[in-house]
Amino acid sequence: MTKTGTTLKIGALAGARGLPPLMIILYHFSEGHHYTGLLWFDRIAARGYLWVEFFFVLSGFILAHAYGHRLKELLQWKGYGAFLRARLIRLYPLHLFMLLLILVLVITLRALAAAGGYVSIYDLPWHQDVSAKGFVLSLFLVQAWHTMDRLTWNGLSWFVSVEFALCLLFPALLTLSHGRVWRGVALIAAGVAGLIALSFTSGHGLDITYDWGVARGLCDFIIGIGTAVLFREVKDQRIPVWVHTATQILLLLLLAYAVTSTGWAHTKNDILTVLPLIALIFALAFDVGLLARVLKTRIPQVMGEWSYAIYLGQSTWLILLRFAKQRLYPPPDTIVLGMPFGDLMWWLEPLGLVTICVLWGGLLAEFIELPLAAKLRKRFGRRLDPQSIPTPS
């Protein structure tokens, strides 16, 4: 851990934020277009949605780690308001930009469809809702509070809606964690039990978004808070570096086993993938060990900084790729570079999509998200918003 101001920045966790958006992009691509037929790769991609668990747990952990000693302030109206303002400054500007960008895409693609005499992708079956109701609910960040019957507008923003709900609940949840260490253990147990219950009853594992997304996020979030309590108790213990490295490698192996050897995704076995993901957050929080060192290098740190923008901005290119397949691609059997176009694009599409989403996320982060947040913080102040918090959302 490196000290910045009055708080501690956990570099390994800041870098760890960079991987989940990439896995989620592969998941959305594979679900919306096709799977490759390579079982090991398909199972990795098919479980991409479970990396949202990593985000929510990390959010609970980091917020509890940063604000745990400021509970008294959070329980006062002035402090609570300042906390919510700080979180909205972090979450809302990019969310609003993407919502308006999707509105432009809806208008543009429908106009092109009307001029060309075909059906817009926004009017095809199974597309996300783009109603006035969904737009208004998205403006107020309540679109994933069991208020819609499907994803709406920028479908990825269901996560932002749930994160906002968790921020509203945070002081009360943090209160539950204060006291003896058994409270942290109890929160972890309650969160895991909740995830198991959701995975057994949803009918599609933990792939829960617009309907019971708040319940899913809440279970993850309290696990993160409980993990922060345990971390606070043991973080000053002298543990050999090799133990940290061995633990991190073991958890990666367990994660690989769960992903490749516990059947297809969207089942009750989802919890088997989630458990090592959760444990990795605790293992990396000590900021030492081989994996931690890798995550503290420049590329993971930059990817972590861009993670929110990569995640939220991917909708742009998922939509445009679907439009390209509808209107711009040649027939699949067209010979291009000596092979059928369909075969050529089999791997180029996901590779290209991940690459362009990373670059697009970087542009969004550097020219929209971070500058707007800086201006808003300058205008409204940084109270209860330590700069060194590696916000996972």
Distance CA(76)–CA(74), nearest Å, equals: 5
Q: Please tell me the distance from the alpha carbon of residue 45 to that of residue 59, in angstroms, as a whole number.
A: 23
Q: End-to-end CA distance of the chain, in Å?
A: 20
Comparing C-alpha atoms, which of 55, 18, 117, 103 is closest to residue 277?
A: 55
pLDDT of residue 383: 53
**pLDDT in the model for residue 306:** 97
Alpha-carbon distances of 173 from 75, 170, 211, 226, 235, rounded to whole Å: 11, 5, 22, 10, 22
Q: Which residue has the higher pLDDT, 31 or 176?
A: 176
- Judge residue 91's burial from the number of C-beta atoms within 10 Å of its C-beta, 0-12 exposed, 13-18 middle, 19 or more buried: buried
Q: What is the pLDDT of residue 140?
A: 97
What percent of the chain lies above the pLDDT cut of 70? Answer: 95
Measure the CA–CA gap between 223 and 298, rounded to whole angstroms: 29
User: What is the mean predicted confidence (pLDDT) over 337-366?
Assistant: 90
Looking at residues 249-259, what average pLDDT do you find?
95
Query: What tens digit of pLDDT does each residue of 169-206 get?
Result: 999 999 999 888 999 999 999 999 999 999 999 999 99
Q: Supply the pLDDT for residue 8.
A: 60
Number of helical H runs and strand E runs in the chain: 16, 4
Q: What tokens were used for 331?
A: 């027939």
Per-residue tokens: 191:
């969160």
pLDDT for the residue 286: 95
Helix, strand or coil, per DSSP, at residue 278: helix
Eight-class DSSP state of 331: P
State whether residue 339 is helix, strand or coil.
strand
The token duo for 84 is 């919510």
Q: Is 389 helix (H, G, I), strand (E, B) or coil?
A: coil
Average of per-residue pLDDT across 88-115: 96
pLDDT range class, residue 34, cuts 50, 70, 90: confident
This prediction has a pTM of 0.92
> How many whole angstroms separate alpha carbon 360 and alpha carbon 348?
18
